[in-house]
Amino acid sequence: MKQYIISNYGSSVAIGMLDPTQVEIDTNLSHNLFNTHVNNNFYLGTLVFSSINQFYKFLIYKNLLPNYKAEKGYRVQLKEASNKARSVINNKTSRNSFMLDISKNQTPSHVYTVYSPEKKMFYRHAALKYNCK
């Protein structure tokens, strides 16, 4: 079963989460380590990392921190966590341009007008509706 979907998102990388058992853990850990932005509108959540390398570091930390044993060498544990992270990227992720598809398919669903008494002006706003496949 795939756990993540990777998509380019401008100069960043958006990671769609697919495993419901790991959503809360991934969200909290990524925010605490890298202060990542989390979007809950797509998939089970979308994490926005600055690069694929940052996502790789996130996976290493995710495998290293809960299983760390002081009596075992740090380098050995880091190598094991790195191998697990590489395995996840190779076997449990897929690549898809879902963020590009979302930005292409934004269509205004409601257009409304707001009056500002201070400026004595009307402003038009459009609420966007996402048509995702």
The predicted-structure confidence for 59-85, as pLDDT tens digits, reads as follows 999 999 888 888 888 898 999 999 999
pLDDT (average), residues 30-34: 92
Q: In this structure, what are the phi and psi dihedrals at residue 10, rounded to the nearest 5 degrees?
A: 65, -125
- Please give the pLDDT value at position 86: 94
Structure tokens at 48: 């926005």
Residue (of 9, 7, 2) closest to 90 by Cα position: 2
What's the Cα-to-Cα distance from 41 to each of 24, 38, 44, 102, 132, rounded to whole Å?
15, 9, 8, 11, 11
- Please give the pLDDT value at position 122: 53
pLDDT (average), residues 3-32: 88
Q: Sign of the CA dihedral 32, 92, 12, 100?
A: negative
**Alpha-carbon radius of gyration of the chain:** 20
- Please give the pLDDT value at position 126: 45
pTM above 0.75, yes or no: no
- Please give the pLDDT value at position 100: 75
- Please give the pLDDT value at position 127: 45
Residue (of 15, 52, 57, 11) closest to 37 by Cα position: 15
Instruction: Kindly indicate the confidence band of residue 129, based on its pLDDT and cuts at 50, 70 and 90.
Output: very low
